[in-house]
Chains A and B, each alone.
Chain A
């Protein structure tokens, strides 16, 4: 998430103000002339036609980051990529954990056959592991993932939409 934190325009950066370090100057021009898909570099933009469209000025003021996403500016792309990467990292971490716990059992059993001869109170260990023990692991991993994926999305939402921040969130 560090990339997101540095790449995101702060709430103060709305309404044509200077963008924070890390975003390109193109972000500034894109804000000045919103709806223009291909922003002109700031150096060339000596003369610019400014069109007054009240609804869009309102957006600029309220949710600065969202227009970057919509227009696909480099800042917006950076933001989306960081969100996708953070989500994918979380997913892969959970997946790796669940796979390691479950899929290591056949290898262990093949290498150390004594494991399969263990019985607990007359019930084979294999039966306990394969029949019952993996399910709580799956539930725990799923619960952990849901919690953290939700937090990631909340943080991303707040980053882009400080106006929508609720006291309880």
Chain B
């Protein structure tokens, strides 16, 4: 199996570098370098946006989390898609018409303040790095699974490839790369899902029946490559070769009680059809909710699942607006109308993609429940093809999945690194392409080191947290900035700092294990449920208190954001340059 998978991963990586290298020759000016010169057709652009957006969480994380935690984890895929619908409804066209490269640029163009720019840039870096970590983790476990290398090898490989590629190619190359990556990812998850669905055959499985613990549908022998702790829900007979609960067996029938057990590395356990499925400690659902419940309790210790579910819904629905690496793409649309069309195509492309992680998760539950003994929920998608389809076809499908997963890490981390490096070079340091290259390398190195510390968190959970930070800082800034003329500098700065700051604080304290039970766990583990309303509230309240500082040119800026291009073109065509001062230099109207 490793040969095919290694070949596929190497192929994807080389192809990415080559397509990126082609971009070097095309990129001439800094403008080309940053935003692909605004000449991208909607369908191509939509594929590029989707390619950049579908990350490790979508590819490996959601399916794994659904298997481990239950159907409630599907709220992540619903939310990641709905995020684009919300983006379409609230910001797509005005944002394109405004015409700035990054969120800090938007903040300054709309409200004009150096302090606000620094706050926004700091948040871009926090969200970008938070989002880079799960990509690195995904690469670590994928290479670990394919090659058996230590976790850090995969992390370092991805960090190096992406940093060097960005430093050489910029975004022109990346637009083509991202477009190619979307279709690669769709094939890499769609083809295995459909083939395995056909191979698994039709007929309902007892494991999908509501309120029922999973059982083996046929006699199954499970190999445990590493020492694994697992729990049984009821006592069962099993044939064991190896070490269970510190006792060595050789092909002996053992009665395992309904309690926790520990199996040694290399142990092989045979279960009869109908036996209960043992669940490894790493995969244990955190709540008492049954698998088919639509509520989600990930990251909150199982407390108050309804509140936790709404936390995920708010974070994912409103988080996409505030993701720094996604907004840059909207400036590559020729006009606002095209931006809306592009966004709708993105919703279509994402919807098609997210059908397949669901299929893979359900197949795992119904036909390969032995994967409940995995040591990490994120590796389930990688392991599934070989179990359902033995022999060469299974190996090839597994290679395809590994390649797609690697494509997911490459594309998302490229987009993120462009925006993080852009924020560093564009906003913190002096402008210029050379600085941008060095910032890309430095930012990649920092993310690589940080990723070594977070390997115990689920991919979907980590990405969900990045969305929560974005939703409680930049989402209010964009929405109020576009639709509410009375927003002020002080209001925006306070909202970003308090909303984003409290969200980051809550997440970091969850990572450090501050609260594991009760309301504390919910409010810290899924903070979006209170930090998003808080950010909106602070932004509105402080703005109302500082109405004297509403920017003088607000009417002109609103005009620029909302006037259809047909009219603004008319104005530019018929009015001579002398009498059109441009929105920024004009005195305010009466």
| Given A26-B590, A38-B590, A58-B574: A146 in contact with B344 (beta carbons within 8 A) | yes
The stretch that binds B, out of A4-12, A13-21, A42-50, A109-117, is A109-117
Which residues on the A side are within 8 Å of B558 (C-beta)? 80, 84
Contact among B294, B343, B566 with A161 in the assembled complex (CB-CB below 8 Å) = B566
* Residues of A within 8 A of B (CB-CB), count: 71
Task: Looking at the assembled complex, report how far the CB atom of A89 sits from the nearest CB atom of chain B, in whole angstroms.
Answer: 11
Given contacts A70-B580, A122-B209, A124-B210, 18 further A-B contacts (CB under 8 A): A56-B575, A59-B575, A76-B589, A83-B562, A84-B483, A95-B89, A95-B90, A110-B295, A124-B292, A126-B294, A127-B358, A130-B71, A130-B78, A131-B355, A138-B85, A145-B88, A146-B344, A156-B564
Task: Looking at the assembled complex, report how far the CB atom of A122 sits from the nearest CB atom of chain B, in whole angstroms.
Answer: 3
Q: How far is the CA of A126 from the CA of B530 in the complex (A)?
A: 27
Q: Of A62, A106, A110, A157, which is in contact with the most chain B CB atoms at under 10 Å from its CB? A: A106
Q: Is the CB of A77 within 8 A of B589?
A: yes
Which residues on the B side are within 8 Å of A102 (C-beta)? 78, 82, 313
Which residues on the A side are within 8 Å of B486 (C-beta)? none
The stretch that binds A, out of B257-265, B346-354, B382-390, B531-539, is B346-354
| Given A91-B89, A106-B306, A131-B355: A70 in contact with B564 (beta carbons within 8 A) | no
Q: Is the CB of A130 within 8 A of B75?
A: yes
Q: Is the CB of B208 within 8 A of A122?
A: yes
Q: Give residues 66-100 of A contacting B (CB, 8 Å).
A: 66, 69-74, 76-77, 80, 83-84, 87-88, 91, 94-95, 98-99
Q: How far is the CA of A17 from the CA of B332 in the complex (A)?
A: 43
Q: Give residues 300-318 of B contacting A (CB, 8 Å).
A: 306, 309-310, 313, 317
Which residues on the B side are within 8 Å of A70 (C-beta)? 571, 575, 580
Q: Is the CB of A69 within 8 A of B559?
A: yes
Q: Is the CB of B559 within 8 A of A117?
A: no
| Given A84-B558, A84-B562, A122-B204: A107 in contact with B306 (beta carbons within 8 A) | yes
Residue B556 interfacial (CB < 8 Å): yes
Pull 21 A–B residue pairs with CB atoms less than 8 Å apart, ordered by A: A59-B574, A80-B562, A84-B558, A84-B562, A117-B292, A119-B210, A122-B209, A127-B362, A130-B72, A130-B75, A135-B354, A138-B82, A139-B347, A139-B348, A142-B343, A142-B344, A146-B344, A149-B340, A156-B567, A157-B564, A161-B566
Q: What residues make up the interface of B, taking CB atoms closer than 8 Å to A? A: 71-72, 74-75, 78, 81-82, 85-86, 88-90, 93, 204-205, 208-211, 292-295, 306, 309-310, 313, 317, 337, 340-341, 343-344, 347-348, 351, 354-355, 358, 362, 483, 555-556, 558-559, 562-564, 566-567, 570-571, 574-576, 579-580, 586-590
Q: Is the CB of B563 within 8 A of A69?
A: yes
Q: How far is the CA of A94 from the CA of B93 in the complex (A)?
A: 15
Task: Looking at the assembled complex, report how far the CB atom of B53 sits from the nearest CB atom of chain A, in whole angstroms.
Answer: 15
Q: How far is the CA of A106 from the CA of B79 in the complex (A)?
A: 13
Contact among A119, A124, A146 with B341 in the assembled complex (CB-CB below 8 Å) = A146
Q: How far is the CA of A131 from the CA of B354 in the complex (A)?
A: 8
Q: Is the CB of B71 within 8 A of A73?
A: no
Residue A160 interfacial (CB < 8 Å): yes
| Given A109-B295, A138-B347: A123 in contact with B555 (beta carbons within 8 A) | no
User: Chain B residue with minimal CB distance to A131?
Assistant: B358
| Given A73-B590, A95-B90, A119-B210: A141 in contact with B313 (beta carbons within 8 A) | no
Contact among B81, B89, B309 with A94 in the assembled complex (CB-CB below 8 Å) = B89
Task: Looking at the assembled complex, report how far the CB atom of A168 sits from the nearest CB atom of chain B, in whole angstroms.
Answer: 14
Q: How far is the CA of A11 from the CA of B576 in the complex (A)?
A: 22
Q: Is the CB of A106 within 8 A of B309?
A: yes
Q: Is the CB of B567 within 8 A of A161?
A: yes
Contact among A35, A105, A135, A153 with B579 in the assembled complex (CB-CB below 8 Å) = A35
Q: What residues make up the interface of A, taking CB atoms closer than 8 Å to B? A: 26, 34-35, 37-39, 53, 55-56, 58-59, 62-63, 66, 69-74, 76-77, 80, 83-84, 87-88, 91, 94-95, 98-99, 102-103, 105-107, 109-110, 116-117, 119, 121-124, 126-127, 129-132, 134-136, 138-139, 141-143, 145-146, 149-150, 153-154, 156-157, 160-161, 164
Which residues on the B side are within 8 Å of A38 (C-beta)? 590
Which residues on the B side are within 8 Å of A34 (C-beta)? 579
User: Chain A residue with minimal CB distance to B75?
Assistant: A130
Task: Looking at the assembled complex, report how far the CB atom of B342 sits from the nearest CB atom of chain A, in whole angstroms.
Answer: 11
Which residues on the A side are within 8 Å of B340 (C-beta)? 145-146, 149-150
Task: Looking at the assembled complex, report how far the CB atom of B207 sits from the nearest CB atom of chain A, in whole angstroms.
Answer: 11
In order of increasing CB-CB distance, the 10 nearest A-B pairs are A72-B589, A122-B204, A135-B351, A130-B74, A131-B358, A153-B564, A91-B89, A142-B344, A117-B210, A124-B292
Contact among A66, A87, A134 with B78 in the assembled complex (CB-CB below 8 Å) = A134
Q: How far is the CA of A91 from the CA of B209 in the complex (A)?
A: 40
| Given A95-B90, A134-B82: A66 in contact with B570 (beta carbons within 8 A) | yes
| Given A59-B574, A98-B82, A132-B358: A123 in contact with B204 (beta carbons within 8 A) | yes
Task: Looking at the assembled complex, report how far the CB atom of B49 sits from the nearest CB atom of chain A, in whole angstroms.
Answer: 14
User: Chain A residue with minimal CB distance to B89?
Assistant: A91
Q: How far is the CA of A16 from the CA of B6 in the complex (A)?
A: 76
Q: Is the CB of B81 within 8 A of A164?
A: no
User: Chain B residue with minimal CB distance to A55?
Assistant: B576
Q: Is the CB of A157 within 8 A of B566?
A: yes
Task: Looking at the assembled complex, report how far the CB atom of A119 sits from the nearest CB atom of chain B, in whole angstroms.
Answer: 7
Contact among A37, A83, A106, A139 with B589 in the assembled complex (CB-CB below 8 Å) = A37
User: Chain A residue with minimal CB distance to B340?
Assistant: A146
Which residues on the B side are within 8 Å of A94 (C-beta)? 89
Q: Is the CB of B574 within 8 A of A55?
A: yes
Q: Is the CB of A98 within 8 A of B567?
A: no
Which residues on the A side are within 8 Å of B211 (C-beta)? 117
Contact among A35, A91, A116, A145 with B292 in the assembled complex (CB-CB below 8 Å) = A116
Which residues on the B side are within 8 Å of A72 (C-beta)? 555-556, 588-590
Q: Is the CB of B306 within 8 A of A66?
A: no
Q: How far is the CA of A134 from the CA of B483 in the complex (A)?
A: 27
Q: How far is the CA of A107 from the CA of B404 in the complex (A)?
A: 36
Q: Is the CB of A135 within 8 A of B589?
A: no
Which residues on the A side are within 8 Å of B88 (C-beta)? 142, 145-146
User: Chain B residue with minimal CB distance to A91?
Assistant: B89
Q: Of A66, A121, A138, A164, which is in contact with the most chain B CB atoms at under 10 Å from its CB? A: A138
Which residues on the A side are within 8 Å of B343 (C-beta)? 142
User: Chain B residue with minimal CB distance to A59?
Assistant: B574
Which residues on the A side are within 8 Å of B82 (C-beta)? 98, 102, 134, 138
Q: How far is the CA of A39 from the CA of B343 in the complex (A)?
A: 42
Q: How far is the CA of A161 from the CA of B310 in the complex (A)?
A: 46
